[in-house]
A and B are shown apart, each in its own frame.
Chain A
């Protein structure tokens, strides 16, 4: 029995390879994700221990608000400068220096603010003590006066900065004009901090431009010879006021690394979701392959039964074949994961994130997860085919039965409907019941499964409809071909019979067609969903903009990514100073805590905001918003039971719990989110405030041209901002959404690629099954070209069928998602019809590509062997 299994495996290496490919890709993506994130963790851990090596003890404010993931959200309270001298007096302290980190963005000589694709642009303090600074000067020296800066080596290299160069640095306040006097490196000198750019100022300048107001983010302490860091830490802790904490350098490095890891964990989860989708698609392909193989081996299995093998033995032999395939594929997938990790690392480099050099980290966890995921996926997909194999009766050895005719089974319909309903229920519960993203994901997976079970029911009618569409097309195409042949003086003519035969081939085994198409359905379902969702977000944003925005112009950052999104508050002040605007209204944003949950908070200027935005109030007024007051979105107020006059305790990272009084309740307004405070409340509770946008209204009597000129004269001095009118603003919004859409679609491309391999596999196996038939067609005069075209049409029909199912499911997902997020400001449901149609057409073209090899093989079939083969 075992010998038969392994002989069977070896006899079909190609088949094994194609089946395994789906698993190799999926497992490769999973292990690649782990390898990459482990490597990044390791690299940054090394980096932070290098930087913080010279620090014995670090003093920091305790964050008053921890976000949902246990990480710090927002910057904690700063350490008063007066503490530096006190700490320096503690016995065992060699030196204590303050350190300040804030926003500082370099401007290239061409006048453009440098882009970091989401990484922070940091300004730091150049500490005078070499041991504390923890960086190595690569060229030049440290900055010592207000006209001098030093920058990190990776940034210098990437943007071509060099020592002696005069540059402009954008900061919280007025821009700084300085000369680069030094270049320093972390670790080996070429690495950066996850793509961050770093500009170092001398301590006095740092205080001014990073908005320290006499305080520091940390006070770093170096110990005297022979003093242990933990002793020193305890000694320093004793003299600290409440709200401040001393940590050893080692602890601080660990915390920094942990924080970065938490930042990366989102990235990790996102990649794993895509890997999961790829594996899910893979199960369809393995299931399908094993089903076809079992059907083709009916006689052989019958013979085994007739010779005395038990049903259990037959079942086990199929499972064993799957297990071997799974093991081989998982091991290959693990190896492929290394390649994927390197590829992703290369991709990160393109985005400017250079990892500190560390060897790729393959942890035991990665190996175990990869093997388990690969083997379990393969086995689960082979269970049903193995049961089917064990049901082959011994008599099948004697019968010349082709693959079983498909019968519509009531049981199958029942199961399919039940699974679909369960999936939809889970999805809706997740979306509307607030039971989290995991349930939504599982629900979506189950819906796909349910539709896949039901889809053989639609395979025949849809294939027939597509055939009716394609047959005339095929006739037209062959007529055009014949015309060319006539012009070229070639005698042969080809008719359009291939589409008809291809359609029939796609219809003959609906189960097979459906599960092949099912794999593609998942990919296109998700792509379709994402496009519908993105289109709805775009439409909602446009509508909101049209309803809310009264401003003539908006000043926004040139880049919308990164944790410290924003720009100097000086922009607003200078716009005001031009005198051409009746209202200049800045908006600021941060994360704060409400009942311990992280929430977005917007700060507005209550005196000018109503001139630039329509704010529908359902209670109270915007004007009433004073220091210590709060405006709340009506739905938020309703669900919390707040009304005008309620006092709400909220938490800021820097200042802890603050009790804010609700003075107004507003209606749908995307610009404000759910909570708004005044600028003064905001600045008092947030470290290093920046403007997120400034909206302006042109003073009556001032021409638009003049106002625009005036505004440009201001914004030109700040290369990290741009001036936009309403139409441009809409465009900017759309572009942002499209960028994200493109990224997600590209990652889903992997799942679609695997699905295409599935089509190749099914076609190859089906052609093998139809050797006689193709031989017959060739014998009675079908040209190779016509055979190829026939296989191609079959492939196109399968692909388009999958695309149609996927689009239908995706549309449903999109619709429920938009409904669920109505209160989040997604109020318009938009169907990007042209785009969805394009995807279906592209799927058809992909079908043509998938058919290339199988069609070639079918056309090359030896006619004689095909018709005489027993």
Chain B
């Protein structure tokens, strides 16, 4: 397992946290076959906040699911670090998700019977690992939920729930966090809070995040945006702003 990065080496040693190589994903068969991923190759470096954008049906969610080991490719390869996921058994994939990957979904992120803090430590509990107290403390104070840790999800607002989900994704110090439209169900203020927190996790703690979104504002928080269309990476943008992303999206939709 990779050493958890420290603040000092954030700027050095840029490595690839996840990549897809000639990844093809076909749903259905014959005439009804849909090529959700059409030979895409893309890399995501460590300690950066990546956004993946594209119109509906561009394959961005499929890419995320395949990179995270939730879905399998038709051909090609996906890697987390230097592990080729396509060679792993179901059991090994589960272990990999448990140890190296964090998730934030659009909805249904939390187990309703567990309190906020129990949800945050859930992946660690599943793995039978003890949470690192100081790190947990850091994460909790960063998401700003200290006074609501004993509450159940049903007693939290949507924004608070997503922050708990983000805290959970970070608590086990995964190599990479995948976020699938994390702000999709949030109002703009809650969304901004969550995105701010995610950016902080990358800047201060050296976390790697890959976020799928269709919201240019959300993409504006990222260090880099990859644009997808028809299952291929068609463009990318470093240091994006919401306006530039919006312009690029408009041109994509016009293609």
Contact = CB atoms under 8 A, between A and B. Distances in A.
B94 A784 contact: yes
Nearest to A503: B113
Given A495-B125, A868-B61, A781 B97 contact: yes
A500 B90 CA distance: 24
B128 A491 contact: no
A495 B113 contact: no
Contacts of A491: 95
Nearest to B111: A773
Nearest to B65: A864
A493 B127 CA distance: 7
Contact of A492 (B65, B91, B101): B91
A315 B94 CA distance: 45
B95 A783 contact: yes
B27 to A, nearest CB: 11
A784 B90 contact: yes
Contacts of B102: 780
A508 interface: yes
Contacts of A492: 91, 95
Contact of A501 (B65, B90, B99, B111): B111
Contacts of A776: 105, 108-111
B122 to A, nearest CB: 6
A789 to B, nearest CB: 11
B200 interface: no
B123 interface: yes
B71 interface: yes
A838 interface: no
A265 B65 CA distance: 67
B5 interface: no
A623 B91 CA distance: 86
A781 B94 contact: yes
Interface in A827-870: 863-864, 867-868
Contact of B98 (A405, A478, A780, A867): A780
B103 A780 contact: yes
A516 interface: no
A786 B103 contact: no
Given A402-B112, A776-B108, A867-B105, A478 B128 contact: yes
Contacts of A783: 91, 94-95, 98, 126
Given A478-B128, A504-B114, A776-B108, A781 B91 contact: no
A781 B127 contact: yes
A777 interface: yes
A772 to B, nearest CB: 4
Contact of B108 (A495, A778, A867): A867
By DSSP majority rule, is chain A's interface helix, strand, loop, or mixed?
Answer: helix
Interface string A485-511: 000000111111100110011011000
Contacts of A772: 108
A501 B68 CA distance: 24
A496 B128 contact: yes
Given A863-B70, A864-B70, A777 B111 contact: yes
Contact of B125 (A497, A505, A775): A497
Contact of A773 (B94, B98, B112): B112
A359 B28 CA distance: 56
B164 to A, nearest CB: 13
A227 interface: no
B154 interface: yes
A240 interface: no
Nearest to A495: B128
B61 to A, nearest CB: 7
A780 B71 contact: no
Interface string B51-93: 0000000000100010010110000000000000000001100
A773 B108 contact: yes
A780 B126 contact: yes
B212 to A, nearest CB: 12
Among A482, A501, A775, which residue has the most Cβ atoms of chain B within 10 A? A501
Among A405, A491, A495, which residue has the most Cβ atoms of chain B within 10 A? A495
B45 to A, nearest CB: 24
A174 B98 CA distance: 85
Interface in B219-245: none
Contacts of A867: 70, 105, 108
B47 interface: no
Nearest to A866: B108
B168 interface: yes
A310 B129 CA distance: 54
Contacts of A493: 127-128
Nearest to B72: A864
A779 interface: yes
Interface string A675-710: 000000000000000000000000000000000000
A780 B65 contact: no
A477 B92 CA distance: 22
A779 B105 CA distance: 10
17 contacts: A405-B154, A482-B128, A492-B95, A495-B128, A495-B129, A504-B111, A504-B114, A507-B113, A776-B108, A780-B98, A781-B97, A781-B123, A782-B94, A863-B70, A864-B65, A867-B108, A868-B61
Given A497-B126, A779-B105, 20 more contacts: A497-B125, A501-B111, A501-B113, A501-B114, A504-B113, A508-B113, A776-B105, A776-B109, A779-B68, A780-B97, A780-B98, A780-B122, A781-B95, A781-B97, A781-B101, A783-B95, A783-B126, A786-B126, A863-B70, A867-B105
Lowest 4 A-B CB distances belong to which pairs? A781-B98, A495-B128, A504-B113, A772-B108
